[in-house]
Amino acid sequence: HGTERTGLLQLAADQIRAAGEPYSSVYLYMLDGDELVLEAHSGRDTEHRRIAVGHGVCGTAVAAAQDQNVADVTAAENYIACNAFTRSELVVLIHRAGAILGQIDIDSDRVGSFTEAEHAAVRRVADGLAVLL
């Protein structure tokens, strides 16, 4: 859990958000047992420092072992709001050798923000982090 890992995660969060719209806020959660723990973020603060597996879009991604692209968070029954401005959310898992290490959680202030191309770009970042973590 050293500062090197935290620095790497913070760099990833800052770089993704630096791409601009639709990346309003970026959160990197790492899996610790049955909880996701916030280790780095760029953008708006969140009170959700820990999220139980199976809860919200983030926890659902881990429980289902698949990325989540929610075009309209108001239509998601299990949505946990990080802030009042978020309208769509993309969660991309970081995994290595079949094990989920964590995830990149991105919020956008617009509905339907995340295209397949954006998902693929964030997937490349997640895959790169999986090698480095």
Kindly give the interhelix angle for 116-132 and 3-18, rounded to the nearest 10 degrees.
160
CA distance 69 to 18: 20
Instruction: Give which of 9, 8, 63 is closest to 35, Cα–Cα.
Output: 63
For the chain, what is the largest distance between any 2 Cα atoms, rounded to a whole number of angstroms?
38
pTM to 2 decimal places: 0.95
The bridge status of strand 50-52 relative to strand 88-96 is: unpaired
Tokens of 117: 């191309």
Q: What percent of the chain has pLDDT over 70?
A: 97
Helix intervals (H) in 3-115 = 3-18, 56-64
pLDDT for 39-66, tens place per residue? Answer: 999 999 998 999 999 999 999 999 999 9
Q: Are the C-beta atoms of 26 and 83 separated by less than 8 Å?
A: no
**Mean pLDDT score, 96-109:** 96
**Residue in the structure block whose two tokens are 């090698």:** 131
Find the mean pLDDT for residues 4-28.
94
- Quote the CA–CA distance of 49 and 40 in Å, as a whole number: 10
